[in-house]
Amino acid sequence: MIVHLLVYEPILDGLRREVYEETGLTVIEVEGSQKYVDTRGINPDFEVECLEPFCVYQTIKGPVDSVGMYFICKAEGNLLVVGDETKDIRWVPIDEVSRLMIEDPRQFSDVDRAGIKYYLKHRFEN
């Protein structure tokens, strides 16, 4: 899922908003969010936040110049059939995702392939 932040929207607020819009699910926990810090209250004209995503990507070739973050979340609610910019939404067990990546990695979006590979290498296979 690609999250497009609104101007000056805090990252976690945008994450929660986009997950809800695209899936109907409410994010109840974001891994790493306990490390969140911001500069609110120091300079009322300039605020910055820092947090730890699961991983970060940057395209290094191709038609789109993009930098983004992946987060691991827990969510609850009823999964939509069609979201704002999604269709055929469904849960797929991680071992099946691993199998699908081996069979034909191009069935996943160009950006998501990298995130899936990273997850499989650093979380699933360990």
* Domain residue ranges in the chain: 1-90, 92-126
Percent of the chain with pLDDT over 70: 92
Render pLDDT for 86-118 as a digit per residue (tens, 0 to 9). Answer: 667 788 999 999 999 999 999 999 999 999 999
| pTM score | 0.85
Calculate helix-pair angle for 110-119, 94-103, nearest 10 degrees: 120
Spatial separation of the C-alpha atoms in residues 69 and 117, rounded to whole Å: 14
Per-residue pLDDT tens digits for 58-95: 999 999 899 999 999 999 999 988 766 666 778 899 99
